[in-house]
Amino acid sequence: MAMMYSKEVMEHFSNPRNVGEMENPDGVGEVGNPVCGDMMTFHVKVVDDKISDVKFKTFGCGAAIAVSSMVSEMAIGQTVDDALTITNADVAKKLGGLPKNKMHCSNLGADALHLAIEDYLKRQGRPVQPRTEPSHEEAEVQEPVSGCACPYCDSPVDPDGTTCQPCGKSFKVCPECQKPLQEDADHCPSCNAAL
């Protein structure tokens, strides 16, 4: 996994900041991606219109955990309005880039934070401005060293193999684009080929 990610991603994955739940949060935001299975929940505490604390719980890959950790650090100390301007591009840049197939994680992290802030604003009876969706092209993308990554743990794998050495899980390969897929996949998320 280390070869695919920047040292910042690996640091936030190995030592995530602000993990956990918050008692009596001022706002809660939860997002999920049905394709990859990542789930993120953010809790925020706001004092004098500034985010004084953020806690998160993330179920997902190493990139999702690193993104959640980075987003939480970026938000603490920001005004509510400033924290709402954090984009996927900001997150990816702070992490030193993300592989293309992990850019959705930066969207999830920013979205979960924004939803928590919007929940806070609603609880305060304040207006919530409609959000514009950031473009994936805005964010810095880091190309993986290997074109083939384990669909379970993102470690580089040999496309001619059927088992990931780091996590030990078996995978299959898409007959169209040759990308590794989870054993139970019925279509390829890369090229949309039916399996």
Catalytic residue flag (residue 188): no
d(CA 185, CA 188): 7
pLDDT of residue 108: 82
- What domains can you pick out in the chain, each with its CATH number? 7-138 (3.90.1010.10), 147-195 (no CATH)
List of E strands, 15-122:
27-32, 39-47, 50-59
pLDDT of residue 138: 45
Write the pLDDT tens digit of every residue in 112-122.
Answer: 999 999 999 99
Yes or no: say if 60 and 67 are a contact pair by the CB < 8 Å rule.
no
Write the pLDDT tens digit of every residue in 124-141.
Answer: 998 887 665 544 444 444
Banded model confidence at residue 191, pLDDT cuts 50, 70, 90: confident
Catalytic pick among 61, 105, 148, 174: 105
Strand order, beta sheet including 39-47: 27-32, 39-47, 50-59
Yes or no: say if 42 and 115 are a contact pair by the CB < 8 Å rule.
yes
This prediction has a pTM of 0.66
- Residue 120's Cβ-count burial label (10 Å; 0-12, 13-18, 19+) is buried
Catalytic residue flag (residue 61): no
pLDDT of residue 30: 94
CA atoms within 13 A on the CB side of 126: 12
